[in-house]
């Protein structure tokens, strides 16, 4: 059993594995329809929304991204995308494939989108949609959403948020922050295998969807069709992945039992302990403290250290997976995930000790004992 501390997937709870092994039923079987009802109820809890449309799309988080855009972007529609990493770039690609008129605001990788630049662009372009990534997996940046939501609403634009790396691990308030379109993935903070993309659409967004001039260009991801299967009609659309929905239901039950508030607190605490431990090893974080993702930590690679060799040593000798950098950060950072089931004190301690040994093997001077002692102070404060 490997310890998955990369950018995803995270480790899966035993209860979720057991749910995966349940006998199959038909996708229109009354028992499965009850599973669907409970999934929707728990998705509303996890997204913090009362939206009627809250469903898991059959596909990974990238399917959620595509669905959120192809359903709401028509040819000629102005769309503003905030780009602060790889996944903002992907949004831009999809907007252009839909024929939308793309405007973008860019931030340096490792920094959040500047609110003043976003505000000017929203007022200048008056976009149909403003799209941002809440937790940018390629950089470890958490994008503040509340003020951006306010400006977006003032211009009557739809607010689209990628929550793939934040749902279930970082505070996300779909209704309070007036997010119209939000999607995620199952394999990160929800600690479910990859394969489904939770998505929710506000009633305001649903009305925009109903008023489209042309059919949605993707048949499979057409929410006007998919929601009829998940709604009261139960109209056949596609054969749902039964076992993955069993798994998601159990993962959402675990989230609900722990409560979101306790889960957020756990992710924050273990993030802080990890950062303290990494600092004691002599390492530097990429992102400023107020914008760091708790669920995905990005660490600068020191000079003269070969980042890939460190990752391979962790995997071969310690059975621990972490990620390397993407795009312009390739070879420059490590990406260390603390998500869902993987985000516990024991894993932080195990990782810090193994990471120190792997760095020492590269000739980087550091002390595992000092790092563990420093990280332990975070937990002692909580225990006290």
- Interval 337-353: pLDDT, tens: 999 999 999 999 999 99
Weakest-pLDDT range from 161-165, 287-291, 302-306:
302-306
| Inside any domain, residue 233 | yes
Domain match, 223 and 355 both = no
Domain match, 214 and 327 both = no
User: What's the average model confidence in pLDDT over 318-328?
Assistant: 97
Percent of the chain with pLDDT over 90: 96
Confidence of residue 288 (pLDDT cuts 50, 70, 90): very high
pLDDT at residue 11, as a whole number: 98
What range does the domain containing 142 cover? 13-258
User: What's the average model confidence in pLDDT over 95-115?
Assistant: 97
Domain match, 218 and 298 both = no
| Inside any domain, residue 2 | no
User: What's the average model confidence in pLDDT over 13-23?
Assistant: 97
Confidence of residue 102 (pLDDT cuts 50, 70, 90): very high
Q: Is the pLDDT of residue 177 over 80?
A: yes
pLDDT at residue 3, as a whole number: 98
Confidence of residue 18 (pLDDT cuts 50, 70, 90): very high
Return the HEC string of the chain. CCEECCCCCCCCCHHHHHHHCCCCCCCCCHHHHHHHHHHHHHHHHHHCCCCCEEEEEECCHHHHHHHHHHCCCCCCCEEEEEECCHHHHHHHHHHHHCCCEEEEEECCCCCCCCHHHHHHHHHHHCCCEEEEECEECCCCEECCCHHHHHHHHHCCCEEEEECCCCCCCCCCCCCCCCCCEEECCCCCCCCCCCCEEEEEECHHHHHHHHCCCCCCCCCCCCHHHHHHHHCCCCCCCCCCCHHHHHHHHHHHHHHHHHCHHHHHHHHHHHHHHHHHHHHHCCCCECCCHHHECCCEEEEECCCCCCHHHHHHHHHHHHCEECEECCHHHCCCEEEEECCHHHCCHHHHHHHHHHHHHHHHHCCCCCCHHHHHHHHHHHHHHHHC
Domain match, 192 and 273 both = no
pLDDT at residue 381, as a whole number: 79
Boundary (domain end) residue, out of 208, 238, 258: 258
pTM value > 0.75: yes
Domain match, 296 and 365 both = yes
Confidence of residue 173 (pLDDT cuts 50, 70, 90): very high
Domain match, 213 and 92 both = yes
Domain match, 114 and 247 both = yes
pLDDT at residue 380, as a whole number: 86
User: What's the average model confidence in pLDDT over 246-257?
Assistant: 98
Domain match, 302 and 203 both = no
pLDDT at residue 267, as a whole number: 98
Q: Is the pLDDT of residue 233 over 80?
A: yes
Instruction: Report the number of distinct structural domains present in the chain.
Output: 2
Boundary (domain end) residue, out of 211, 236, 258: 258
Q: Per residue in 34-83, pLDDT tens?
A: 999 999 999 999 999 999 999 999 999 999 999 999 999 999 999 999 99
pLDDT at residue 383, as a whole number: 72
User: What's the average model confidence in pLDDT over 240-245?
Assistant: 96
User: What's the average model confidence in pLDDT over 147-159?
Assistant: 96
CATH number at residue 356: 3.90.1150.10
pLDDT at residue 382, as a whole number: 75
């Amino acid at each position: 059993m490997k310890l998955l501390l990369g950018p995803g997937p995270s480790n899966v709870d035993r209860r979720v594995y057991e749910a995966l092994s349940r006998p199959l039923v038909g996708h229109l079987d009354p028992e499965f329809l009850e599973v669907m009802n409970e999934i929707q109820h728990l998705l509303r809890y996890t997204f913090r929304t009362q939206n009627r449309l809250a469903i898991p799309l059959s596909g990974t988080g990238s399917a959620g991204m595509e669905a959120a855009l192809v359903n709401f972007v028509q040819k000629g529609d102005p769309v503003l995308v905030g780009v602060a990493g790889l996944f903002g770039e992907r949004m831009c690609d999809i907007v252009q494939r839909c024929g939308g008129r793309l405007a973008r605001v860019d931030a340096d990788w490792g920094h959040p989108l500047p609110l003043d630049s976003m505000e000017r662009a929203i007022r200048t372009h008056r976009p149909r949609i403003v799209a941002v990534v809440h937790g940018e997996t390629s950089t470890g940046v958490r994008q503040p959403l509340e003020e951006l939501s306010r400006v977006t609403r003032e211009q009557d634009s739809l607010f689209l948020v990628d929550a793939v790396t934040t749902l279930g691990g970082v505070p996300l308030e779909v209704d309070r922050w007036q997010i119209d379109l939000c999607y995620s993935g199952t394999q990160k903070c929800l600690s479910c295998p990859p394969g489904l993309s939770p998505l929710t659409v506000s009633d305001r967004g649903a009305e925009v969807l109903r008023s489209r001039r042309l059919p949605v260009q993707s048949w499979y991801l057409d929410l006007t069709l998919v929601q009829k299967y998940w709604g009261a009609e139960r109209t056949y659309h596609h054969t749902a992945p039964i076992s993955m929905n069993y798994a998601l239901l159990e993962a959402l039950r675990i989230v609900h039992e722990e409560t979101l508030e306790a889960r957020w607190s756990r992710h924050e605490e273990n993030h802080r302990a990890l950062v303290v431990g990494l600092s004691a090893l002599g390492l530097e974080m990429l992102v400023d403290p107020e914008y760091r993702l708790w669920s995905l930590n990005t660490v600068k690679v020191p000079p003269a250290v070969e980042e890939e060799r460190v990752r391979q040593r962790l995997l071969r000798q310690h059975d621990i997976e972490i990620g390397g950098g993407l795009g312009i950060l390739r070879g420059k950072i490590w990406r260390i995930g603390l998500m869902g089931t993987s985000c516990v004190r024991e894993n932080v301690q195990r990782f810090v000790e193994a990471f120190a040994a792997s760095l020492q093997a590269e000739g980087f001077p550091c002390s595992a004992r000092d790092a563990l002692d420093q990280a332990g102070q975070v937990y002692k404060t909580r225990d006290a």
